[in-house]
Structures are given as structure tokens and as C-alpha cells.
A and B are shown apart, each in its own frame.
Chain A
Amino acid sequence: MNILVPVKSVVDVELNIRVKDSHIVEDGLNYILSKWDENALEAALQLKEAGGGEVTAVTVGPARSGEALRKAMAMGADKGIHINDPATEGSDSWGYARVLEAVARKGSYDLIITGRQSQDTDMGSTGAFLAALLDLPLVVNVIHMERQSEAGRLEVHRKGDGDTEVIELALPALITANDSLNEPRLASLKGIMAAKKKPLETLTLADLSLDASQVGAQGAAIEIMGFEAPPGRAAGKKFEGEPEEVTAQVVGLLASEAKIFT
């Protein structure tokens, strides 16, 4: 099975992110492979290991995004495609999906797996847009995957409202990965060394026959007006008194204010 896994390089949210004049301060930021993309990649690698085929990782972004691709290849992706074109800067999910559509059409893939959302914007729409553009069946938020029951079909489970939906898909298809789908592997030293020799193709929009006006800020359907730093955490509430009184007070507030018992 040939699988395409779009991966995104995102700001590491574990470090302090600072906002100045409605923009994120880029200085000193660390970029990592978006965590749900690691689940997508792990799922692809497991399918490949079980049934053969090839896993291609693709990323859209500036030179530094190459790091996400190298990590994907160090984890086991067979090749990488890097769409590095300044015109893609400022794209919204729709713009990224258009670029990825062009990449998908250039190859021949039985399955596309994306993360259910990216770790930076938490938008969660690129996968769905891409499925729509390619006219593929889509299952989002996949939590479990069965081996192919028969060639050309894939059984996936997704979390429904309270219970689990079991869905059989006809390939080609697109699924998006939940983080409970699997435990992404760590890149081993041998994987990291091997990745250096794997093919990495760098393309521009022109190579994909795309026009700059279709992507980036120009082609965006939505515009982000600015960023606001999250408000500082308000001080917690302190309860004093006899244990019985305090417990009753806290339980009362948990019910009436936090509404955790409903």
C-alpha cells in the first residue's frame, strides 16, 4: 500500500510563546513535528510493515520545515517531498490542502493519513479539505485500525458519541489520526543515519502547476487578524475551616460552578 502522510513543522508549545503587536515572536522558538502527525506517520509505518508498500512524507513550508521531514524519514518514511515556496506563506488550511492535493495527484496513493489537527492552530480542517478536493472517502479522528481484511479495503474505528464506530473503507481514502491511535516510535540512531540517504524532493508551486494566487495569504479563505497571549491564570480559591465544612463547600461549588457532576 502506498501511503502519503502530510506532516507539519509547528512551534514547540512547551517553550514560552510570546506575542508582541499581535504577532508571535519568532525569535528563539523551537519547531517540532506536530504530534498528531507522528500518530499519522506511525499508522502508515505499521500498515507498511504489515503489508508492504511505501510511505511518503510531505511538508509545505520554509527551509526549517525540512527538519520535520527528516524526522519523518528517520522514523521510517521512505521518501520526503518538501514544498518550499515563499508564496505558500500565510496559507490557511484551504491553501495547504490545495498544495497537498497537487502533490497527491502527482503520485499514486492508496491512502492518505493526516493528524486530526495540527498542534499550532488546532484547526483540524486540512485533512477534510484535502479529502474533498480529491473526492476521497473521509474518516476523521481514527482511534484504531485493523489490518486490511481484503485488498483495497481498510477497517477503522473512530470515537463516536459515547461508543465506537467501526467503518470499512474502500481505498483510496483519507483518514485523520487521533493521538490514541498508537504510540509513535522514537527515531533510532540507525533510522536517523539511514534517513540521510533517503530521497528528498524539493518542489516549488510551479513544479505542481499551481499559481501563487491560489495559496498563501492571497488565496486564503480566512484571515487571522492577530494573536492574543492567553490571560494569566487567576489565583485559585482557598478554603479554610473544619474538614467537613470545607468538603461540603467544595463539593457544592464543583456541582454548581464547575458542573462536573452533570
Chain B
Amino acid sequence: MDTISLDSLTALDTLLSDEEKLARDSARRFIREEFLPDIAGHFENATFPTEIIPRLGALGWLGASLEGYGCAGVGSVTYGLVLQELEYGDSGLRSLVSVQGSLAMYAIHRFGSPEQKERWLPPMAAGKAVGCFGLTEPDFGSDPGGMRTTAKSTSGGFILNGNKTWITNAPIADVLVVWAKLDGPGQEHIRGFILERGMEGLGTPPIKNKMSMRASHTGEINLTDCFVPAENILPGSGGLGSPLACLNQARMGIAWGAMGAARACFDAALEYSTSRMQFGMPIAGKQLIQKQLADMAIEITKASLTNLHFSRLKDKGRLSPIQVSMAKKNSVAQALTIARTARSILGANGISLEYAPVRHMLNLESVYTYEGTNEIHELIIGRGLTGVSAF
């Protein structure tokens, strides 16, 4: 019997330009040849191969969708396809790239002064400086508007106090975009600040014992009377809308990325089920397994087409944040279900790091929660549909 590949089934290629396919192919090759051979070991040891970061820069993947300052300036589909391939490798890698480009660099690109952009964006695009984005606090996750981190004006700059937690890249970051409430009360005073490694009063302890995103450095940002010079405030930032605009940038990329993890799990499940013999035949010949594989292929196709459609809208400037929530919630939730199913198809081997599904399954638990939890996106969609806020 002839078989048909998932790529042929989704037939996404028929909707892509040559340039988009080329970008996808470069990332695909990089992941399969240079990244996948070592990733299970990094996950097990809770390390990340930081030496590849300059290479990510050279390939144009850091801040890829931004214009100027050494960035490639590609469209959302190209960017999404690259992130999808990177997350085929590992969600930790994709997180690093998303945080660097769509959060830290985007914040500087959008809200920064010309001097700040000149100073920070080129080394960040080249992967010579790593960035992070500190919004979440111990007591304020889904509701960041209540943040307690403060910035007080002082001569020549600001004094920052407070704690951020669950911050991707914080322990290895050279450039830390931190959100804090400047002096007076109210959300309109939330401003972005660029902190630099080595500033006095800045600590970035790592968060240990994670069972997810192990190949990604996550940490706290502790600020104790940390002096930040006046030229390091992001002049264009103001209000909670500023960090939320950054998150909105990153979310389409996360929707694409999650489908990369889903595809990796599907590939593993398909390969395993066609070679694993039980009851005298490959388990792929069993109807229950076939239904699981069919459902995976259908959900991957649906989510991929949604991601493509919404990214094309984004490039036309016609994508609403509600659509972004639909894409993020759906892709990640489907990817998580697919990862869990793939894990089960592999039986006991499914819990071994020798195979990809359990690693993706564990990682996707984080992706389900960060960048707006699954429920927060449901509330955004629900509010859009009904006009009633249920937060």
C-alpha cells in the first residue's frame, strides 16, 4: 500500500512561496542535523547548548520579523514556519527564540529610543547578547496589572525594587526588559526598563527542579534598590498595554511552534506503531491506534491552516487579538493532547527520553500555561463573542 506523508496531507506547501519553503527547509535541516542528536541529554541534565545562540543569530532567526538593526524583516508566515521547525526540536529552543525576538527585542524595537535600538538590537539579532522579558511576579501571573515591582525616580535615573519569577532566559540574559510601576498609582504607570547584567541590586537566581522546559534556563529577577540610569527607560512604553502588545506578538509564533512539537510526536508515534509488533502484527494495524493517528493528522492539519490564515492576516495588519488567542489556545491544547496520545502509543518506551514524545509532552505543559494560560485565552475569546468580561 502506498502511504501519504503528513506534509502531503496538509499540503501547506501549495500555499507557501519559494522563500517561505526555503526558510522552513533551513530550519528543518538545522534541527535534524545539529540540534536533535543532543537534545535529550540537555533535557535530562537541565542544560541548554548556549554555544548555538550566535548560530541562531547568523541564520537570522533572532528578531526575524523586525525591520532594520541587523534583523531579517521576514513576514509572519516565514517566522512561524521557522519556529515550528525549532519546536520540532524542543520547546526550550523555541522559547529562547520567541523571548529574544518577539518579547525582548520587540519591546526595544517598538518602545525604545533610537539610541537604545542602535545599542541593543544588533548584538541581540546576532545572538551576542541574550534578552529576557520580566512581567510575571510571584503573586501576579494571569493578572499582571497588579504587579508590585516599583520604579522610583531619583537623580539621573530610577530605583527599582521587586521580584519577577518564571522568567525565561533570566539566568543567562545580558539584557533584561523589566516591567515596573513608576511612582504614582494606577496601571498607566507601568513602564518598561532595560536592565543590564552586572547592575548593582540585580539578581537572577535560576528556578530548579522543573519537570518541563528542562532544556531552557528559567529564573527569577530580584531587584533590591537597583539603580537604572534614566536613558534605560523605554520612552514609548506606558500602561499594561505595552507588555501585552509584546505578548501578542509572540503568541502567533507560539501557535506555530506548538504544531512543531505536535508533528514531532506524530512522527514518533507513526514510526513506532508501524514497527512495534503485538498480537502478531504491527500495532499500527489496530483500529484504535489508527483512529488516534487519524485524529492527530486531522488536528495538525486544522491548526496549521488556522495558523497560516491568521499569519497572512497579520501581515495585512488585519489580525485581531481574539484571533491570536484562538490560534494560541487551539494549537497548544491540541499539541498537548497529541503529545499525550503519542506518549501512550509508545507504551513504556513512551516514558523514556530516548523518544521525543514525553519530552514534548512535559514541555507543552509550560506552553499551555505561559503567554496567557489556556483559560485566559478562553476568556478573551468569550469576552469577544459575548461582550461580557468574565475575568
Contacts and interface: CB of A to CB of B under 8 A. Distances in A.
Interface string B62-97: 001000000011100010001000000000000000
B267 to A, nearest CB: 13
Given A70-B18, A70-B22, A189 B4 contact: no
B368 to A, nearest CB: 29
Interface stretch (B53-61, B128-136, B240-248, B323-331): B53-61
Nearest to B2: A18
A190 interface: yes
A101 interface: no
B82 A189 contact: yes
Interface stretch (B23-31, B174-182, B257-265): B23-31
A8 B26 CA distance: 18
Contact of A28 (B4, B26, B60): B4
What's the interface size class on B, roughly?
Answer: 20 to 34
Nearest to B34: A186
Contact of B22 (A15, A18, A187, A190): A187
B8 interface: yes
B18 A188 contact: no
Nearest to B58: A188
Nearest to B125: A190
Given A188-B26, A192-B60, 18 more contacts: A16-B5, A18-B2, A28-B4, A66-B18, A67-B18, A70-B19, A186-B26, A187-B22, A187-B25, A188-B58, A188-B59, A189-B72, A189-B82, A192-B19, A192-B23, A192-B26, A193-B19, A193-B74
Contacts of A189: 23, 59-61, 64, 72, 74, 78, 82
A144 B3 CA distance: 41
Contacts of A66: 18
Most A CB atoms within 10 A — which of B7, B8, B19, B21? B19
Interface string B1-18: 011110110000100001
Given A16-B3, A18-B2, A28-B8, A190 B19 contact: no
Interface residues of A, number: 21
22 contacts: A15-B8, A28-B8, A30-B7, A32-B25, A67-B22, A70-B19, A70-B22, A71-B22, A74-B19, A186-B26, A186-B29, A187-B25, A188-B59, A188-B60, A188-B72, A189-B23, A189-B74, A189-B82, A192-B23, A192-B26, A193-B73, A196-B19
Contact of B72 (A30, A67, A71, A190): A190
A193 B22 CA distance: 11
B159 to A, nearest CB: 40
Interface of B is mostly: helix
Interface of B: 2-5, 7-8, 13, 18-19, 21-23, 25-26, 29-30, 58-61, 64, 72-74, 78, 82
B238 to A, nearest CB: 32
A111 B313 CA distance: 47
A1 to B, nearest CB: 25
B5 A15 contact: yes
B72 A186 contact: no
Interface string A163-189: 000000000000000000000001111
A155 to B, nearest CB: 29
A18 B4 CA distance: 11
A194 to B, nearest CB: 9
B56 to A, nearest CB: 10
B4 to A, nearest CB: 7
Contacts of B82: 189
A192 B22 contact: yes
A192 B21 CA distance: 10
Interface in A15-47: 15-16, 18, 28, 30, 32
Contacts of A15: 5, 8
Contacts of A192: 19, 22-23, 26, 60, 72, 74, 78
A244 B18 CA distance: 57
A16 B19 contact: no
